[in-house]
Structures are given as C-alpha cells and as structure tokens.
Amino acid sequence: MTTLRRPFLVLGLLFIGVLVFSIFLGRYPAPYWMPLSTLRSDLLAQRLVVNLRLPRILAACLLGMSLAAGGTVLQMIFRNPLVEPGFLGVSPGAAFGAAFSILFLDGGPAVVEVTAALFAGLGLAGSYVLARAIRYGGWILRLVLAGIIVSALFSAGLGVLKYMADPLTELPEIVFWTLGALWGVTWADVAYMLPLVVPGLVVVYLMRWRLNVLALPEETAFSMGTAPGRERSLLLAAAVAAVAAVVSVAGAVGWVGLIVPHVSRRLVGADAQKALPASMLIGGTFALLCDDVARTIVAGEVPLGILTALFGATGFLLLMIRRTPQVG
C-alpha cells in the first residue's frame, strides 16, 4: 500500500528543512533571504528572528499540524473523506465571534482571539446539544446535520455583521480575518494556543491506532470491545479543541484539514497508525511553506487562507488525476 519508501524519514527531513529554511526567509534586511552572516552580526536581525519570525514559524507549524490531525480524526470518525476540522460549527463560530468582536468590542487582537475561541466553543457545544435533540438517524448523521445547521446560522450571522460593518475600516478587517493570517503573531499568541493544542494533539496521537477501529461501523466497533460513543467523543473533543485554539489565532484557514489527510493516506496508506503522524508532518510543512510565501512574496501580507486554498487545491488536483490503483 505504501507508495513512498521510508516515508517518515523523507517527511521528517522535509519538515525540518523547511523549518530551518523559514528562519532565513523574509524581507529583512533585503527581500527573500537573510544570510547567516547577517544573523550573526546584526542585532536587529537577531531580535526580529527571535521576536517575530520564530513565534510565527511555530504558530504555522501548530496551525498546520492541528488542522491536518483534526481533519484526519474527523474524516475517520465521520467515515467521510469530505469532512474538515472546521466542521461541527467550529470555524463559522470562530469567524462570527471575530467579526462580532471587531464590530462591538474595541479591544484589539487579543480580544478578537478570545471572542473567536469562545464562539468556536459555542459552535461546537451548539452542534452537540442540537445533535442530541434531533430525532432522526444515527448519532453520526445527527452530528453532521447539527454541524451543518449551526454553521449555516453562524454564516448568516456573519453576513449580517458584514452588512453592518463600516466598509472602510471594519469590513476589511473582518474579511482579512475570515481569510486567515498569521500576521503579527507573538510569543503570547503561541503561549495562548499551547494549553489546548498540546493536550489535544497528544491525545489524538496516542489513540491513533484506535482511530482505525472507531472508523468502523458502530456495531462492529462495539463488537470489538470498544465503547464507540465515549471514545469517539473523546477524540473529537481533543481534535476540535486543538483546531479551535489555532483557528482563533490564525483565522479560518481552509483546505489544510481537508486535503492533507488525503495526501497522507496516499503516501503511507489508510492505517492511522502511520497516516496520522504523516498527516501532521505534511500539514506542518504545508502551512509553513504557505506562510513563508504569505509574508515574503510582496511587501504587504497575502492572506494565508488564499494561499492554502490555491496551493492546496492545485496539489489535490494533481494528486487525484495521477494514475494510481488506489481509492479514497
């Protein structure tokens, strides 16, 4: 099933390579590249790397890993390869929260983040409560339906807020946020993400083989001595907590969580024992590369979500039209 020999060596080296490469990439002192000699001698360059580039690079890694891991978990648990981690009301909730904060709470980026995270949690909780109330279909179908309903409500709310926003000042900020960006990420932002991202990813990583069993039909998973409801809820909560944390800082960055799990399964096979860590490595690398382009290519800042969509969709297309005997 494996199409790549020694996939983890290749993916690991690639990830570390991109990580190191990203440190030297930027627009100081000149566009695109900072020579090692500058980093040794220039005090400003050192400060810039430590205070701006490093937290941003770390944030990009966490973002990519959380979205990719979240995507793998949700696709497997919902047994649906078209699900992405913003599902279940998380991303639309966060976007609504951010817009709400931009419009009504004058508090700067930190307040936007906290409000976004609160509403992401609210979106998830809303989906959960709604799923319990729906009297139709099995638990998975009810969660999917509830997620769609909650997402639609938040999207409608976001539309209203956009309509009300000042088109010169507030609207661009909302649009920029919904496209996603890691612009101006500080160590404080990273520290704020870690308490949710680290436990979330650790739980998902440790339970990665179990994820295979939980991807089976409910009664089969049950017959194999698992408690599917409880174990799936735990994995979902862990994955979504990590995603909510990164999304509240970076905005609604799309496509990573949808595409990276597919790429990973193509490379290492469906077994989550391998597919999940591969997914995290690919997600981290991909988000880093996209963010490198976002902050380097022009003097301003290209919204990250545009690049992940552009490169993600292109890469996905190439992957899908390649002749391989595999499915899914």
Partner 1 sequence: MNTHATAISTENLHFSYNGPQQPVLRGLSLDIPAGSLTAILGPNGSGKTTLLRVLLGFLRPSAGTVRVAGRPLGDYTRREMGRLMALVPQSEPIPFNFSALEYVLLGRTPYLGALESPGPADRQVALEALRAMGAEALRERAVAALSGGEQQLVILARAMAQQPQVLLMDEPMAHLDLGNQGRIVSIMRQMAAAGVTVVFTTHDPNAAAAVASYVVMMRRGEVLTAAPTARAMTAANLSETYGVAVEVLHAGERSLICLREEA
Chain contacts with partner 1 (rule: CB under 8 A):
1, 76, 79, 81, 206-210, 212-213, 215-220, 222-227, 231, 265, 269-271, 273, 325-328
The smaller minimum CB distance to partner 1, of residues 76 and 252, is found at: 76
Rounded-to-5 percentages of helix, strand, coil across the chain: 75, 0, 25
Question: Shortest Cβ distance from residue 137 to partner 1 (Å)?
Answer: 13
Question: Shortest Cβ distance from residue 269 to partner 1 (Å)?
Answer: 7
* Tokens describing residue 229: 């409801």
Q: How far is Cα 165 from Cα 171, in angstroms, rounded to an integer?
A: 5
Residue 87: helix, strand or coil by DSSP?
coil
Q: How far is Cα 50 from Cα 60, in angstroms, rounded to an integer?
A: 15
Question: Shortest Cβ distance from residue 53 to partner 1 (Å)?
Answer: 36
Question: Shortest Cβ distance from residue 78 to partner 1 (Å)?
Answer: 9
Q: How far is Cα 134 from Cα 130, in angstroms, rounded to an integer?
A: 6
The smaller minimum CB distance to partner 1, of residues 10 and 270, is found at: 270
The smaller minimum CB distance to partner 1, of residues 178 and 264, is found at: 264
Q: How far is Cα 210 from Cα 198, in angstroms, rounded to an integer?
A: 19
Q: How far is Cα 68 from Cα 257, in angstroms, rounded to an integer?
A: 4
Cβ within 8 Å of residue 145, ≥6 positions away: 131, 134, 136, 137
Question: Shortest Cβ distance from residue 72 to partner 1 (Å)?
Answer: 10
Question: Shortest Cβ distance from residue 135 to partner 1 (Å)?
Answer: 11
* Tokens describing residue 253: 């960055």
Question: Shortest Cβ distance from residue 203 to partner 1 (Å)?
Answer: 9
Question: Shortest Cβ distance from residue 86 to partner 1 (Å)?
Answer: 21
The smaller minimum CB distance to partner 1, of residues 6 and 79, is found at: 79
The smaller minimum CB distance to partner 1, of residues 200 and 303, is found at: 200
The smaller minimum CB distance to partner 1, of residues 37 and 324, is found at: 324
Q: How far is CA 259 from CA 9, 49, 109, in A?
A: 21, 30, 29
Q: How far is Cα 130 from Cα 149, in angstroms, rounded to an integer?
A: 9
Burial of residue 5, with CB atoms counted within 10 A of its CB: 0-12 exposed, 13-18 middle, 19 or more buried: exposed
Cβ within 8 Å of residue 138, ≥6 positions away: 218
How would you classify the pairing of strands 32-33 and 25-26? antiparallel
The smaller minimum CB distance to partner 1, of residues 155 and 273, is found at: 273
Question: Shortest Cβ distance from residue 210 to partner 1 (Å)?
Answer: 6
The smaller minimum CB distance to partner 1, of residues 271 and 301, is found at: 271
The smaller minimum CB distance to partner 1, of residues 40 and 135, is found at: 135
If phi > 0 it is left, if psi is from -120 to 50 it is alpha, else beta; for residue 106 that is: beta
